[in-house]
Structure 1
Amino acid sequence: MRWPRQVAYLLVLALLLVGPPVVLVRVVGWPANGGPDLRQWVSQPLTAQTLAVALTVAAWAVWLMLAATVAVRVAARAWVGARWLRRVPLPTPLQATATGLAGAAAFGAGAHTGATAVGPQVALPVAAGTLYQSTDPDANGVERLDGVSEVDNAGGVVLREGWLPWDVAEQVAAAAGLVWLRRRRTYQPHKPRDARDDTDLAPLPETVATVQAALAAPTRPAPATGTVPDGPAGSIASLPSGRIALTGPGALAAARGMLVTAALVGLRQPTVSAPFVITRAATRMLLDADIVARPWPGVEVAGSADDAGVLLASSAAARYSSEREDTGRPVLICESAPRSEPLAVALAACAATAVFLDAGTAEVILHVDAAGHTHDPQRPDWVGPRLCVLDPVAATDLLTVITQAHPPDVHPGAGSTAATVTTPKRPRIPRQATGERLDHPPDRAAAGQLDLRVLGEPTLIADGTPVPIRRSAALQLLVFLAVHPDGGSSQQLVEAIWPGLPAHRLTGRLYTTLSDLRTTVRAACGLVVIDHIDNRYRLNPGFCDVDLWRLRTLAAHAATAVTSPATIWQAIADAYSGDLAAGHQWPWLDPAREATRRHVLDAYAALAAAEPDPRRALDFLQAGIRVDPYNQALHQQASKILTALGEHDTATELTDTYHRRLTAAGLRPTDAHHAALHAGVKPVSGR
């Protein structure tokens, strides 16, 4: 215990501060009571009296230095304590009223014990700076950072240095789903291999994982009373037309939010979204770097203010001549208010909203705070919309995902001959599950072992009976350790299960989850499922067997097999009983899920390539398509075999079904995809 040692230190310090003065006063006397005569000291400097006085002065000097040091340390501690007290959040008037009502109700309940009728329960407001969470015992990532009030949390996702409205966050999740669907579509199956080194299996940025975890929360906080509801695309549509200057600590962050939301709208509606123009200098100012090589959907980058005026004028002319529905005003972001005649004419012609990053000659000046709230310095009572705010890292992460989700051969703003499809109010997040679940039963674990099945619905089985896992974080922890047999440190586990939150604040939650999981498993079978060795947690391979480990072992054997490889390929296909952790959308799961799926696709493709009978080869390809109905290579091979067999109707139907599936998922088939799929397919009359 620390307090006895601290008490001993205080006693020694008090003795040093009080003891020497008392001894000096009692033995020598006070320093002002007298001393040697100056003339006597000059004539005889080294006498017993002068030496005694010198030692006394030295002793008092040492004591004064000690007292001064203690005084400085005490003053520093007092200053730190005063600063901490000033940072303690005081209750707002509404919270004070609610607390007073609660106290009055408590005293009233004690005074009127005879009352029998109980009125309806009214939920008290949550105090500012607290953490909100769901009824789930582990809350699974719904926690928010300290010091962020419910008003700041309302209606959006709070990042480390920013805020996203819910509709923008859903667009981000939809873009992330499109990235993984595009990777699935373009994957080319090859000979099975034990280790996946595919470059497109890299996980998405941490900002996307934070947004996905927030959207996966069971509950969302309701918007606070009195706040202005956010408009579409981060409230850009709620801004007035004309020249607007953004000032304040959140000005650049709000401009980044506008850029990201415009790119998301362009990704979702490439042909009907209003033009969004930004100058190259403004892009460098916002992102602290040059623009990316590929353009962002729905965003035009102009080299100068004059070029921006030309782009706005041409886009306005195209919109007016195309007779399509007006979906909003054009938006321009410029580093300063330029004196450009083409730009001024274009802004007036298309009634665009020009956002400048300094005051200049703007008609409206909006002050943006760090949380995205807007205020007009000329109108103190006016409450503006809350804008999406992002720091350079978060904006770059989101723009990277949008670029990966955007097809390189579809240019934003290009006209389309097809009929415009009405877009739903909420974005559709593409499904990552397969077309149908497979029913291959996995191999049973040996007697006396736990059987962890993570292919399909995750289940932990002990002695033939499923073990109930109460906490969703505990189930996620089991799957994570199954995917990573070497285990992970406490920081790695916290960052995976609760992304976007400070790891050092969630270590206690991890320990609670581990303790509850160990207790549950020990009560079910008496075994220890998780080991802690060298500061890493891992599944105990002596007591736990995992179906994913068996599939990976088969893939390693298939990569080095010299004789009877088809038998091992078939064993890989039989060992796959469904998607990894089917039904769950944890942010860290997609790379491992896709790597596992590709092992099976490689096995089916190898079986089809080695099969001399085209009918049997077609069966293997169709089985692979059931595993991944978005893979283009498998559809193309199956279409070629059907065409070679003379079944042109079936080949055309397979291709059309695949196109409809891509369209429903948000993957618009391009001319190149049509040409690749229809290669070798003869046209059928009447279709």
Structure 2
Amino acid sequence: MLSWLGRAAIRISAGSLLITAVAGIPAWLAIAVGWPLPRSVPSQDSLTAALTSGVTDRMVVNLLAIAIWLVWAAFAQAVYAELRDTIRGVKDLHLRPHRNPLRNTASILVSSMLLGTVLTATAAAASPHAASGAAIPPRVLPTAALATVSEGPATIHVGDETYVYVVKRADSLSKISAAWLGDADRWPEICQMNKHRHFSQVGGTLRDCNLIFPGWDLRLPADAKPPARVKPAQTHQPAGPPPVAPTKTATPPGSSTPSPPQAASSAPATSNSTASATTTAPATSSRTNATAAAPAASSADSPGPAASSDEHGVRLSPSSWVSWTLAAAISAAALLVWQQRRRRFTGESDDDPPTELPPPVATLRRAVDRRPELAHHDSESEPPGLPELAPLPPGGTGLTGDGATGAARAALVAVLASGGPHHPDTRAEVITDATTLATLLGPDFVTLGPWPRLHVTDSIDDALTAAEARLLHRSRILDEHTLTDLGELRKTAPDEEALPPVMLIAETPPAGARMRAKVALALGEGLHVSALLLGEWAHGATVEVALNGYTKLVAGQAIEPVPPRLPVLEPAAAIQVLTTLRESQTGEPPAITSPALPVTVVPLHASRTENKPTDTTPPTVLAAGQASPGGRARLRVLGQPRIEDITAEGRPLRAKALELAVYLAVHPDGAATREIGEYLEPDARVSQADQRVHTNASNLRHVLGRAGTAVTKNAYVIKSAGRYRLDPATVDIDVWTLRDLMRKATIATEPRRRELLTAACDLCAAPLAEGQDYEWIQPHRETVRRWSTEAHLMLADDLLDSDPQAASDLLDRAIGLDRYSEALYVKAMHARHALADAAGIRTLLRAVTKALADLDAEPREDTIELANKLRTSLDNK
């Protein structure tokens, strides 16, 4: 830190320069030049004489003096503005590159002159919070930033550790940096890690790094260490706002030290998610990223809810945390959702429009995609299955504490996420009663609809009856094979029916039913029937769960140790994840649309900037190597995204600029800078994201210019009213051509309709942005895939009577592009029937059955009936 003498020297120097500039310049002008303007209003004759006469030295001096006076006035205004912001405590910490350089100069001089000075009384009086008694942070300058005038607790995050820190009157970021990082000059790192974060516990967003409030939770670099006198200890969070990190706390010097944590040596795993919480993975740095859901609804200053991850799991919110194993299961289910939607698409353009995945699911998939050992990619030949989670624990376990319901919600999700299409014995089921489910999920649980793996009874007695029925059924099967364990049954009789684990999730049974539950759960130990009970369980282990998932064994004994942390979920997040899991397993959309579920239709369906065409002239489809009319640049996003025919020399295309090109191609109306940044730069701070968007837009415009011949200024990529969009007059985009072909084909008549559909099918030779795993691409890729399916079905209808062989070949190609679309198989069966090919119909039925088996589904009954009917009609001929 600067010594007192050094600070004084900087203040004196800056003050001298400021006084010289503000007072010295006008004094010198008054003495050396005098007043440069005329003393009175000149007459017309004097003006004419002055303009017609030659330029004198006096005139030049006066003009220079006027210019200096104007610059001085602007600088004085900048100094006044800086002093005003300093007194009010709203000074920006960083210089703005696009701001007036005079304002930047004034900022440097004022900051240096007031180095370390805090105008406490003035700031408190000027702040709008003063009247209400809130903590008012005064104006503090860069080397001693972020002081507060009131004391209060703040939370300090260091990696996965959390400490409670009492903010003092004279505290500042530089002091925190000196105490925790050993270097006062590292305070900008703390500022960078926390800027633009929203603090949901006490409210407020850190927009100005000069202002902090007690109660905010600040993140510190991973190498931070608490002061020597600060000792961490594990405690349980009291009732109140949700905790934001592990419940380790550190007591500041001078206060009492909490008792050391109790060791949780042994306890049973409480659920499928319980065991998964102990799974470890390679460490990754903790980074904050904004969820990709509904960015248009985010405000300019608040990028949305933040999620962070570490080596143990993903934190969605202060009271929602998911282990990596469970996050991988949910991510795999998200991929199955899109394949299920392809399966049920019938070919109608408005049927079941694709929607975004729920925000928690999108956030978890994004986090998993960044871990190569966990990520699942969209593979057509080998679709991903849900990863197997750990076996369910035997017996029953009680949950108490503020996080009990959150842990039960996460356990419900984990059990229903277990297993996969090819592992029926691991697809666990849940038995619960309506009252418990309403307690966990609220009234929105009715939006889930029927689910074979979720059995909801009317009461706890009915739930126990359902559990007992399964125990009896499994016992009979074991008796038939003279076995006592389901594990042995799977080895000795692999063809026996699947007997997946079952978990009972309910409130602790009332006094009259507790012995019944005890006996049932004791019998279920070898039959994979277990229970998770909300409340104390006197006949087993009871675990106390904090709001953030941290656990402590409070009663009973167990064979296995209690995991230090259990996954926890809030009701809204649990509903959204469960809806995704149900759709991935059943292929059915939600029975009722919940306000918590997204219904945003992909923007590419229709553009506000263009009306539907009224003519039937087909758009020009260019072959490879053919020059685009009008010298337009050719952007191709169907298949590998690329810009074709780049001939001029220049800078290469950035990877992010290519992603921006694809994003703008599927948003014909364009998108705002902030919206693009939310999707393409989710991990960057708002200011950084905006700058990167501008840089990538400039690079994209440059490379498109190398492929086109347009001379219009700002061609190719247009920015208007804060929105970027591709210019259709100077850029030829294949997906826009496909859109126009499909629009015109719907209103065209033969033979023009067939020409339009043939051109559309020729364009649909590959998926949108093939080979690119952009986090936001899936709904748009699904839209283009549906256009392809619709085009092939429509063209096959036109060809079926006149040329059934061409229709059959066309549909075979379409099935190769979308092997899960049952509508394509049905149409292909009609084509095989027209060719009198009964064996071909049988082959198609086997193919669709095999494809849908990857989704744990079977062909619809009407599909099977149609295949049998068509084959029978051919056999009878």
Residues 570, 464 of structure 1: alpha-carbon distance in 2 compared, 3 angstrom cutoff: farther
- How far off its partner does 1:370 sit? 3.4
Q: Measure, in 2, the Cα distance between the counterparts of 1:145 and 1:68.
A: 30
Residue number among 513, 517, 520 corresponding to 1:343 in the alignment: 517
* Residues 1:384 and 2:444 are matched in the alignment: no
Q: Measure, in 2, the Cα distance between the counterparts of 1:466 and 1:303.
A: 73
Q: Measure, in 2, the Cα distance between the counterparts of 1:10 and 1:159.
A: 36
Higher relative contact order (CA 8 A, sep 6+): 1
Residues 179, 514 of structure 1: alpha-carbon distance in 2 compared, 3 angstrom cutoff: same
User: Aligned residue for 2:136?
Assistant: 76
Cα-to-partner distance string for 1:182-208 (whole Å, 9 max, x where unaligned)? 222222235xxxxx4333422222222
AA of the residue aligned to 2:337:
V
The count of aligned residue pairs is: 557
- How far off its partner does 1:597 sit? 2.3
AA of the residue aligned to 1:386:
R
Q: Measure, in 2, the Cα distance between the counterparts of 1:392 and 1:372.
A: 15
User: Aligned residue for 2:637?
Assistant: 454
Cα-to-partner distance string for 1:457-501 (whole Å, 9 max, x where unaligned)? 1112353589987654433322121011101223432443466x7
Q: Measure, in 2, the Cα distance between the counterparts of 1:342 and 1:12.
A: 71
Contact 1:521 1:529 (8 Å CA) reproduced: yes
Q: Measure, in 1, the Cα distance between the counterparts of 2:839 and 2:660.
A: 48
Cα-to-partner distance string for 1:568-594 (whole Å, 9 max, x where unaligned)? 111211222311111234343233222
RMSD between superposed Cα atoms in Å: 4.6
The 10-residue stretch of structure 1 (600-609 or 514-523) with the greater mean CA deviation from structure 2? 514-523
Q: Measure, in 2, the Cα distance between the counterparts of 1:198 and 1:578.
A: 23
Residues 382, 478 of structure 1: alpha-carbon distance in 2 compared, 3 angstrom cutoff: same
- How far off its partner does 1:282 sit? 1.3
* Residues 1:277 and 2:465 are matched in the alignment: no
- How far off its partner does 1:257 sit? 0.8
* Residues 1:159 and 2:316 are matched in the alignment: yes
Contact 1:171 1:264 (8 Å CA) reproduced: yes
* Residues 1:364 and 2:541 are matched in the alignment: yes
Contact 2:400 2:543 (8 Å CA) reproduced: yes
* Residues 1:479 and 2:662 are matched in the alignment: yes
Q: Measure, in 2, the Cα distance between the counterparts of 1:92 and 1:618.
A: 59
Contact 2:429 2:453 (8 Å CA) reproduced: yes
Cα-to-partner distance string for 1:199-221 (whole Å, 9 max, x where unaligned)? 34222222222122222226579
Residues 148, 646 of structure 1: alpha-carbon distance in 2 compared, 3 angstrom cutoff: closer
Q: Measure, in 2, the Cα distance between the counterparts of 1:668 and 1:199.
A: 20
Cα-to-partner distance string for 1:64-122 (whole Å, 9 max, x where unaligned)? x9999579689733684555884444699999999899xxxxxxxxxxxxxxxxxxxxx
Residue number among 398, 403, 406 corresponding to 1:253 in the alignment: 406
Q: Measure, in 1, the Cα distance between the counterparts of 2:373 and 2:663.
A: 26
The 10-residue stretch of structure 1 (207-216 or 586-595) with the greater mean CA deviation from structure 2? 586-595
Cα-to-partner distance string for 1:615-671 (whole Å, 9 max, x where unaligned)? 222223223223322222221222233244332223322322332222245444466
Q: How does 1:208-247 map to 2 (within 5 A)?
A: 208-217=361-370, 237=392, 241-247=394-400
Residue number among 620, 624, 627 corresponding to 2:814 in the alignment: 624
AA of the residue aligned to 2:846:
D
User: Aligned residue for 1:288?
Assistant: 442
AA of the residue aligned to 1:389:
V
User: Aligned residue for 1:662?
Assistant: 852
* Residues 1:580 and 2:781 are matched in the alignment: no
User: Aligned residue for 1:433?
Assistant: none
Q: How does 1:501-650 map to 2 (within 5 A)?
A: 505-519=685-699, 521-522=701-702, 525=705, 529-564=716-751, 565-611=753-799, 612-650=802-840
Q: Measure, in 1, the Cα distance between the counterparts of 2:471 and 2:628.
A: 67
**Percentage identity across aligned positions?**
27
Q: Measure, in 2, the Cα distance between the counterparts of 1:385 and 1:493.
A: 39
Unaligned runs of 5+ in 1: 14-64, 102-124, 191-195, 223-231, 410-438
The 10-residue stretch of structure 1 (72-81 or 200-209) with the greater mean CA deviation from structure 2? 72-81
Taking structure 2 as the reference length, the TM-score comes to 0.55
Q: How does 1:167-246 map to 2 (within 5 A)?
A: 167-189=325-347, 196-217=349-370, 237=392, 241-246=394-399
Residues 200, 257 of structure 1: alpha-carbon distance in 2 compared, 3 angstrom cutoff: same
Contact 2:397 2:531 (8 Å CA) reproduced: yes
Contact 2:345 2:352 (8 Å CA) reproduced: no
Unaligned runs of 5+ in 2: 1-74, 89-120, 139-146, 163-176, 184-220, 225-244, 246-282, 293-302, 376-386, 479-488, 491-497, 589-621, 707-713
Contact 2:404 2:546 (8 Å CA) reproduced: yes
Cα-to-partner distance string for 1:332-385 (whole Å, 9 max, x where unaligned)? 211234221543332222134332222364632212233323222469997625
AA of the residue aligned to 2:442:
D
The 10-residue stretch of structure 1 (447-456 or 328-337) with the greater mean CA deviation from structure 2? 328-337
- How far off its partner does 1:253 sit? 1.4
Q: Measure, in 2, the Cα distance between the counterparts of 1:88 and 1:447.
A: 60
Contact 1:233 1:262 (8 Å CA) reproduced: no
AA of the residue aligned to 1:532:
K
User: Aligned residue for 2:550?
Assistant: 373
Residues 147, 446 of structure 1: alpha-carbon distance in 2 compared, 3 angstrom cutoff: closer
* Residues 1:5 and 2:80 are matched in the alignment: yes
Query: Partner of 1:457: helix, strand, or coil?
Result: coil
Q: Measure, in 2, the Cα distance between the counterparts of 1:457 and 1:681.
A: 41
The 10-residue stretch of structure 1 (307-316 or 526-535) with the greater mean CA deviation from structure 2? 526-535
